[in-house]
Structure 1
Amino acid sequence: MSLKDNICNFNLLKQPKPFYLIFSIELWERFSFYGLQGILTIYLTKILNMSEDAAFSLFSAFIALVYGFVAVGGWIGDKILGSKRVIILGTLTLILGYSLIAFSKNKIFLIYFGLSCISVGNGLFKSNPSSLLSSCYDKKDARLDGAFTMYYMSINIGSFLSMLTTPVLAKIYGWNIAFSLSVFGLLVTLLVFLSFKGLIKNIGSYPDFQSISSKTYFFTISGIIVLILISNWLLYNLKVIKIVLMILSMIIVIKFIQETVLMKRSDRLKMLIISILTIEALIFFVLYGQMPMSINFFAAHNVKNTIFGFPIESAQYQSLNPFWIIIFSPILSRIYDKTGKYLMISYKFAIGMIFCSISFLILPIGSIFSECGIVSPLWLIFSYASQGIGELMISGLGLSMIAQFSPRRLMGFIMGIWFLTNSVSSFISGYISSLTAFPEGIVTDPIESLKVYDSVFTKIGIISLIISIIMLYTAPYLNRIILLKTQDKQ
């Protein structure tokens, strides 16, 4: 493949027309979500006076619900309403949720109810754009990896802009104005989708091309309202969420196994590949979950809040993650094109995990050069850069992996299972972050807090490095399955 071909695979001008709409709505929806995520834990501690441990617990539960409902939204899109109708329904639910938080005037019951609406709305929305995108390409299309890498870049363009902006808005104009930015993002999402819906008139799941009865709409919307009320109750009863998540996960796994058993041999091999890589991705999501929690508070407690002489808010450091994603996306896309048949996805996952482990091991090294417990921001910049490469090689390619190996009729459902790993990992992430939390009301010495962060980050780095070595060792066996699948297809 020539250099020109490599560039074209990543070129926005070489994609099918529906790609542009899907790219846009995902960008603006993620703009809203990450704007909230970037400041939520800080808001809970500073304004609602929660302890760090309590804030981490609530945030973890919220994220668990956010991704726990994605499989449900994918199923509704695949089987009941169609992907396009569910995107609209999810967007409206999200607008309600973000509005409740933005105009809550710091009333805790409105914050909780808003988070409940967001968790259900995200579940409805999240898997359906990626499901539509996968329908735009043939499974053998050489542009597939590049398209999903660009799609992943759209997520990070949105998150970069909002995570850079909301901390400043919160400081200058207040927290409610900062949260209002998320409402704006969802209004743009809805406007863009409705205005250019004609671009995707020929793609979608089976129900998209069928008429839907008012009775079906009534029961679906009623079910959504019930889910919001259940989510709200669960956020007040965090221990119950773990039990519910376990039950939901078991039901989804059983359904996954049932579907797999009924498939022919070549499709069962595809499902096996999905299963193994999804388990590996679960480990990554545990590490990724540290950014809005332990790493966010590490930046607040122990990192100098200036970059090259310019003052910044500590929460703005999180924007480094999407910044590096945007930088590395075209580079990795070109590398994938050059090494496609040599560097299979199992090796990409393993190498990505190595970069994730390095991102944590960098931070304790930086603390060696700290001054009075305050670390140079350069170490955090390097850490986010390494994490960004790892994220692109695991989470970024995960959607492409599902698009390649999932049966069309189960695309939304399996996309939902992929996002369910975020839900399961959130509680593990919350537990790990709680190891760095300090008791409520105690003002910590930066030198003492740095020791705690060093200990936790070193352990995370070492354990994830061991896991990455295991992944490298098992990659050849997984590649044999992939090659066998390809031969069966031929």
Structure 2
Amino acid sequence: MNTDIENLFKDTVLGHPVGLFILFFTEMWERFSFYGMRILLILFLTAPMMSDNPGWDWPREHALALIGTYASLLYLTPIVGGWIADKFTGYRIAVIIGCLVMTLGHAAMAFDTTMSFYIGLALLVIGTGFFKPNITSIISEMYKTRESKKDGAYTIFYMGVNAGAFFGMMLCGYLAENYGWHWGFGLAGIFMLLGMLQFMLAHKIFGSIGDKPGRKEEVVLEHTPNETNVEIVEEMQAEIKLNPFTTFDYVLIVLSSIGGLLYLFNDPLDVIYSMSLVPFEIGGMSGTNIVILAALAMFLVLLITRIARYLPIVRDRLIAVTIFALFTVFFFAFFEQSLGSMTLFASDYTDRSLTGNSATIFKIIDGLLTTIPLIIITYVIALIFKKTFTKIGASNIVLAIAFVGVWGLVIFRLYDKFSQTEMTVDATWFGILNSFFIITLAPLFSKWWESKYNPSAAMKYGIGLVLLGVGFAILSYGASDIPPGARTASVSMVFLILAYLFHTMGELCLSPLGLSYLSKLVPARMIGFMFGVWYLAIAVGQKAANTMGGMIDKISEAYSLGTFFLIFAVIPVAVGLISMALNPLLKRLMHGVR
């Protein structure tokens, strides 16, 4: 393995191996297709049938029930996909499987039928499970002997995530809103296919990195046969024996998983089709609520009993991780309104019409936002071509085709916008603001974390939640004049832009740090289980976000849309203040880990 890593580092671009940029662009196209499709879901499902661009005309509550289950499953299947890669396929094969299944999913969604739509969503959930955990695992393997460069590698990779989300939402949204939903869904599939081909054709550059588990073990033994490895293995085995999973643990895992999945599938069936997988009541409580409460109770018993069996310092740190996971649930339950109620606010309640100087200024800003990142990425591609064309020429050609396609679409879009004297900003355009603000603000927050003013973990969580609440407070103020029950309005887009700004700053305080603290606080023998808990926390947050977002009509009719967003402002601020108040306790529980 060391030989393959050394070979990778012989050809570098911007100080990192070319293989990192192969992964960068694979991730970029996957995120392009993922976010490009996801931003369309709520708009397509709620668009009127009798319109220039007909959708399914679903009630908002129905659409958000389906989206909530879809979003939750996207964070649960990676637990299974990572396990399959570790045990059977290896990381690279798993990534290819994920790309192929997601490509088929996008292709299915391009057809305007109910069955193909549901099949497409199912394939995207399965494909993400294979792709999401394993492409980052390849990076981890690549930098095993270059730990000091790993942070920089993940920073570059994270830029690929945001670049893909940025262009995916912009271009898929533009085609879908202006030319038809199937164009947006179809475009997402095309770039997913190109991403898969580019990765497959470049596979030999990685050597045995990310290969099947059996071959990886042989390489490790071949290149590092020393007593230290034997000692490490014996130590790990001893640690596992300290607190093994019992039969009772496994029973709780299975039963709580079944209960949780039953709830996820039953909720949209019940809301949309008035069907139930658990058609019974006990004491006036529905079967759905009984199942989810029972699943939650069993999971809490599992978590408490396992943590209680550890030694005091480890136990304290695991309690701290659990508390942070709870704050994570609250954060994502509100933050993920961006692709639900906030997209609806952009579509139906925001004044997106521009004329005169305001239209001209927007066109210039939009043009710069679009072309400058593309110029920078194109320059990186040119550097890659110089280094690798003789080795992976076919992969380079596919990458070039993809970028010619992006440039063509960007130029076409800009020409279309600049030719309009009066223009309407696409509702999906606001989705790109999160990616843009992350790219521009991440270096500032990184400097903050490296300075002497670096806050503790609890304070970062608190600041993130408060900033999230401030964003919703701005939206609440902007929507305060909308009368109860109104289905449309013309609120200035400034309020939505500022909300995205504060939400992104909150995300930078909290989201990238969660897994970092988890890896520091959790012992090696518990890391897999706690990563599963962490993804579960995000999945619960995703479902809660769309369940609460589905109340938009009920609350806005009974009170007002301003009140709806005010609720979303007050709760995160309150939870953020609780996090800050718990700072001394959490510091003690972390036992010196920062």
Q: Does structure 1 retain, via aligned residues, the 8 Å contact 2:95–2:135?
A: yes
2:572 alignment partner, one of 455, 464, 468 = 464
Give the structure 2 partner of residue 23 of structure 1. Answer: 24
Q: Aligned pair in 2 of structure 1 residues 39, 266: CA closer, same or farther (>3 Å)? A: same
Could you say what secondary structure the match of 1:276 adopts? helix
Letter in 2 for 1:367: A
CA distance 1:420–1:17, shift in 2 (3 Å): farther
- Is residue 2:588 matched to residue 1:480? yes
Structure 2 SS opposite 1:126: helix
Which one of 282, 288, 294 corresponds to residue 341 of structure 2? 294
Aligned amino acid, residue 584 of structure 2: P
Q: Is the aligned partner of 1:319 residue 2:432?
A: yes
Q: 1:274 to 1:64 in 2, by over 3 A?
A: same
How far apart are the structure 1 equivalents of 2:63 and 2:548?
13
3-state SS of paired residue (1:49):
coil
| Corresponding residue SS for 1:289 | helix
Structure 2 counterpart of 1:364, one-letter code: S
Which amino acid is the alignment partner of residue 158 of structure 1?
G
| 1:96 aligned residue | 104
2:373 equivalent in structure 1: none
Aligned to 1:424: 540
1:233–1:86 CA distance, 2 compared to 1 (3 A): farther
Aligned residues: 448
Instruction: Flag structure 1 segments of 5+ consecutive residues without an equivalent.
Output: 1-11, 212-227, 440-447
1:222 corresponds to: none
Cα RMSD between the aligned structures?
3.8
Matching of residues 331-350 of structure 1 within 5 Å: 331-339=444-452, 342-350=454-462
Q: 1:107, 1:129 → 2: CA distance?
A: 32
Residues 284-332 of structure 1 deviation map (CA, whole Å, 9 limit, x = unaligned): 1101221111111111221111463252112221221212111111221
Q: Write the mapping of 1:205-216 to structure 2, written as runs, cut at 5 A.
A: 206=213, 209=216
Q: CA deviation at 1:35?
A: 0.8
Q: Is the 8 A contact 1:73 1:124 kept in 2?
A: yes
Displacement after TM superposition at 1:407 (Å): 5.2
Q: Which residue of 1 aligns with 2:517?
A: 401
Aligned equivalents of 2:522 and 2:85: distance in 1? 16
Normalised to the residue count of structure 1, the TM-score between the two structures is 0.79
1:206-245 CA-partner distances (Å, limit 9, x unpaired) = 567259xxxxxxxxxxxxxxxx9x9999864676597887
Distance in 1 (CA, whole Å) between partners of 2:200 and 2:306 is: 34
Residue 224 of structure 1 corresponds to none
Question: What letter matches 1:48 in structure 2?
Answer: W
CA spacing shift, 1:138–1:201, aligned 2, 3 Å: closer
- The question of 1:281 aligning with 2:328 is answered yes
The residue aligned with 1:219 is none
Moved more, 42-51 or 244-253: 244-253
Offset from partner CA, 1:427-452 (integer Å, 9 cap, x none): 3212211221379xxxxxxxx77962
The answer for the alignment partner of 2:70 in structure 1 is 62
Q: 1:249 to 1:261 in 2, by over 3 A?
A: same
Greater shift in the superposed pair: 51-60 or 309-318: 309-318
- For residue 57 of structure 2, give the secondary structure of its aligned residue in structure 1: coil
Letter in 1 for 2:183: I
Q: Does 1:201 align with 2:314?
A: no
Letter in 2 for 1:41: I
Pairing 1:78–2:194 present: no
Are the structure 2 counterparts of residues 424 and 81 from structure 1 closer, same or farther at C-alpha, using a change threshold of 3 Å?
A: same
Q: Deviations over 1:414-433 (max 9, x none)?
A: 44432322321233212211
- The answer as to whether partners of 1:37 and 1:292 remain within 8 angstroms in 2 is yes
Residue type matched to 2:330 in 1? Answer: I
Letter of the structure 1 residue corresponding to residue 440 of structure 2: I
Contact 1:71 1:420 (8 Å CA) reproduced = no
Question: Which range moves more in the overlay, 134-143 or 62-71?
Answer: 134-143
Q: CA offset at residue 337 of structure 1?
A: 2.0
1: CA distance, partners of 2:298 / 2:215 = 26
Q: How much does 1:25 deviate?
A: 2.6
Partner of 1:183: 189
Given that residues 52 and 438 in structure 1 are in contact (C-alpha distance below 8 angstroms), is that contact kept between their aligned partners in structure 2? no
Structure 2 unaligned segments of length 5 or more: list them: 1-12, 48-54, 219-260, 279-287, 363-423
Greater RCO (CA < 8 Å, at least 6 residues apart): 1
Retained in 2: the 8 A contact 1:363–1:379? yes
Structure 2 residue aligned with 1:128: 134
- Gap change, CA 1:134 and 1:450, over 3 Å in 2: farther
The code of the aligned residue for 2:331 comes to F
**Per the alignment, do residues 277 and 73 of structure 1 end up closer, same or farther by CA in structure 2, a change over 3 Å counting?**
same
